[in-house]
Structure 1
Amino acid sequence: MDSTIVLCDEKTVDQTDQVEILEAAGATLETLDKKTEAAVEAAVSGADGIIVDAATPVTRRVIERTDTLEVVGRAGIGVDNIDVEAAVNNDITVVNVPDYSLEEVSTHAFALLLACNRGISQYDRAVKSGTWDWKAGRPLHRLSSGTLGLVGFGGIARRLAAKLRTFGVDVIATDPYVDASTMRDYGVGKVSFDELLERVEYLSIHVPLYDETRHMFSVDEFERLPESAIVINTSRGPVIDEPALVAALESSEIARAGLDVLESEPPAPDNPLLERDDVVVTPHTAWYSRASRRDLSEGVARAVAAVLRGDPNHSVVDPETPWI
């Protein structure tokens, strides 16, 4: 089988294992460095597949301008940069790697929660500026005295729930695609979105980005959280309305935020979130470990190769069940 696969993902493009898997499937590999719609459109002309990261747009225009593309491989979990509906309508299969970093992202979300709960960023900045004072991070609250709400209950949220149980934290969750009995298996209570906002001290977001979830958290949602609330986001930046988050922090409507994702990445130097002691920001790195990077490169390569061979594949993205 002779096919051409375009690689446009800096996390996996230099991975020998990925190259070996695709070449064994009879693929010739081409690398694309530019991540513009025009560049992607030109690159897929005559190609059978493309592997992309979150910053590479595979739009309706790209999809409808090619008559050779069979598969789009998303080197990651979220597919908000891919017009999945247009792909399905044009008989193009979209695959991702839904389980490659469950351990890493759940651990990172937990780390952000702990950092915010214990005021780590505030203490660190105070000490480095010459202030040695236990009061620099107050007020702090006992972790196990609060309830954590999970928005979305896919694989990452389930791993996080398991880790939180060992710390004695009560966990509830909202997810329209997961039933209450499944949540009970993880010791988690299913509630509505409105009830979750009323009950939690800690909030961890685990939903994909699409029309329904864009700015899912804005002025009203922050107002309904308690003043002691900590908000953690390791999903997608635009799920949170950043000006509303800044306003909620400034007015003490919530206490702290831990963010691995932002609306614009990298952020503008004047983004007010970067100047706040009550916000911990990491550079969209929750997915990363050496092991997860290897799993990612192998996983997306195997999924793409399977589609080219005509094999059934469990990593095919279903546009009807977007909360994964």
Structure 2
Amino acid sequence: MRIVFSDLDHASHDIEAEIFAKAGFEVPLLNCRSEVDLIEQVADADIVLNQYAPFTKRVFDALPRLKQVIRYGVGVNNVDLAAATAAGVQVCNVPDYGMHEVSDHALALTLAMVRKVVQMNASCRNGRWEYAEAIPIRRQSQMTVGLIGLGRIGKLYAHKAHSLGFSVIGYDPFYQPNAADNTDYIDAVTLEELYSRSDVVAIFCPLTNETRHMVGAGAFAGMKPHAYIVNTSRGGIIDEAALAEALSSGTIAGAALDTTEQEPLPKESPLWTLDNCLVTPHMAWYSEDAAEELKRKVAEEAVRFASGEAVNWPVNEVVR
């Protein structure tokens, strides 16, 4: 089988190359950015390691030889899963790398907002040494965090927030907190109740047609005026125009975003003008350890598939 990288913006792919070399594969690194690039450059590939290039129905229709696409990361929103399944292409991701990094980053953003760290750092640097500018700050044991999504990362964040004293509530139509996996301290609620009760709303669900812009004007109107929202999941889940309005009007107190609908966040976005909006550059996944784990697992999944073995992380179900 022929394996290729469709695209990759990492500084190196030495880890993958070593794994492939040991398995007897020479894997070229391509620079595909568009449907046309994929159709022209990947026609002779059976397996593709993919980062951003768009695998649409048009691409799958044009690549009858293709058998597997492996995404670098958890999300697969640049892959048309229905088209892949119809074409008999196995799509895989790496859902369990960097889980602690993302949950830690979400917690760091939560604490930065709740303790007003960035705001007070700026105040001190501007010559004002006055804690009263941070008023009000509340004790964490008197606060509630509400999680939208209780998958691997959401449950890790919940555990860490609970350990710091926060009360934890959660909404996930596919999961029920229980004692078997030590999540029975999470109070399962409706989405509307989560918005109304939470002091911090943290998002851990995937971006789908159903979740796109699910957190919009109606959601913000249902939140407490001192509430914060934290997103380390996918941009597009939050309606950013509605968020900017909610932040500027005081409907909610603040937002911390590691992902945005368009990345980088456009310079003309009104979110840049708001002091109560904290932005980081889609870095929640990152540590040196997580980066190495991702590279290794992507390459190993490709070798596994090429060798006729069962894959570890199928996203779709393909009949062969």
Structure-1-length-normalised TM-score = 0.93
Aligned CA RMSD, in angstroms, stands at 1.8
Task: Report the equivalent of 2:171.
Answer: 174
The worse-fitting range, judged by mean Cα deviation, of 74-83 and 21-30 is 21-30
In structure 1, the partner of 2:126 is 129
Match for 1:100 among 94, 97, 100? 97
Query: Which residue number corresponds to residue 119 of structure 1?
Result: 116
Segments of 4+ in structure 1 off by > 4 A? none
> In the TM superposition, what whole-angstrom CA distance separates every residue of 1:56-104 from its partner, at most 9, and x where no partner exists?
2111111111011111010100001111111111111111110101010
In the TM superposition, residue 184 of structure 1 has moved relative to its aligned partner by 7.2
Residues 107-152 of structure 1: per-residue CA shift (max 9 Å, x gap): 0000000000011111122222333222333332222211111100
Does the aligned pair in 2 maintain the 1:47–1:69 contact within 8 Å? yes
Give the corresponding residue for 1:3.
2
CA distance in 2, matches of 1:194, 1:296: 36
Give deviations 1:141-167, integer Å, cap 9, x for gaps. 222211111100011011111111211
Q: Which of the numbers 138, 147, 150 marks the counterpart of 1:150?
A: 147
Letter in 2 for 1:51: L
TM-score normalised by the chain length of structure 2: 0.94
Aligned-partner Cα distance in 1 for 2:39–2:236: 25
Q: 2:23 pairs with 7, 25, 28, which one?
A: 25
CA contact (8 A) 1:6 1:47 kept: no
- Count of equivalent residues: 317
**Paired letter, 1:190:** A
C-alpha contact (below 8 Å) 1:71/1:308 kept by paired residues:
no
**1:213 matched to which residue of 2?**
211
SS of equivalent residue, structure 2 residue 309 = coil
**Residue of structure 2 equivalent to 1:299:** 297
SS at match of 2:236: helix
Q: Percent identity?
A: 34
SS at match of 1:94: strand
Match of 2:76 in 1: 79
User: Could you list the runs of 5+ residues in structure 2 that have no partner in the other structure?
Assistant: none
Tell me, which stretches of 5 or more residues in structure 1 are unaligned? none
Following the alignment from structure 2 to structure 1, what is the Cα–Cα distance between the partners of residues 227 and 197?
A: 10
One-letter code aligned to 1:14: S
- Gap change, CA 1:233 and 1:319, over 3 Å in 2: farther
**Corresponding letter in the other structure for 2:252:** I
- Secondary structure of the corresponding residue to residue 303 of structure 1: helix
